[in-house]
Amino acid sequence: MFSLIDSLNPWLFGLGLNTILLAVVWIVPKKLLTPAGVFHAWLLGVLLWGTLGWQGYVVVMFYFLVGSFATRIGMAQKEAEGIAEKRSGARGPENVWGSALTGALCALGVGMIDWGILPVSHSPLPLGVETSQHLHSLLLLGYVASFSTKLSDTCASEVGKAYGKSTFLITTLQPVPRGTEGAISLEGTLAGVAASVVQALIGWGVGLIDLVGVFWCVLAAFIATNVESVIGATLQSRFKWLTNEVVNILNTLIGAIAAILFAWLWASIFA
């Protein structure tokens, strides 16, 4: 089946598939996206299918579905406490790009290499990829790492708000109420790590990264998620422009860059 899909024009197929899927999302009673969010998710979906094919699309769809489910965990309780995501978790344009801008940029980079717009490296490669695909493989790693990081952050936050028994501010380890910016909990942390592992394994399962790349994604996600908590505890309340969406972009960017640096250093040392 996938060989038939691969043989079709990816942009036309992406246009058709995303139009059908988001039409379904539009009419279902339980809204996962706002009307504007549907349009921006459509743009993102077409871009990712056109550049990365079904493999990249599977990665982002897994994030979207699991992340949407995690947002609804304990929703009634979180709404009663005033710590639930706005619009009962329905994602708008700011949420779409806050979560996926880094991944979209990595996908664009891969596409530009495939189209011959960007030159590729001919140096020894990490992760056993062909030498002409050095930059290509690093961008794919960054793509998967960005969504591993975001799913880790989403699950850590939502599970922590719903089930965290003891919640601490990451900078001082002082007890704080659930839902406090920069708060962490054991339950949330474990959920975040598990989510990053599964998301990275999805990336490996569809062939975007190898098993060493899975490790880099998980490590990078753990680091980036905790850095984001530090930003939330120290900077977010001081700067109005540092919204949750901006912090999400920084979070995924840190995760992608960290994974790429780990792979590059590993290759530099052991190649």
Query: Between 134-163 and 186-205, two packed helices, what is the crossing angle to 10 degrees?
Result: 150
The pLDDT value recorded for residue 27 is 81
The pLDDT value recorded for residue 253 is 97
Tokens of 165: 């028994």
Length of the chain: 271
CA distance 71 to 158: 6
The pLDDT value recorded for residue 210 is 94
CA distance 168 to 166: 7
3-state secondary structure of 167: strand
The pLDDT value recorded for residue 180 is 84
- Side-chain-side CA neighbours of 33 within 13 Å: the count stands at 22
Rounded to 5 degrees, what are φ and ψ at 29? Answer: -60, -40
CA distance 101 to 140: 14
pLDDT beneath 50: ranges in the chain: 7, 121-132
237: exposed, middle or buried (C-beta count within 10 Å: 0-12, 13-18, 19+)?
exposed
The pLDDT value recorded for residue 106 is 97
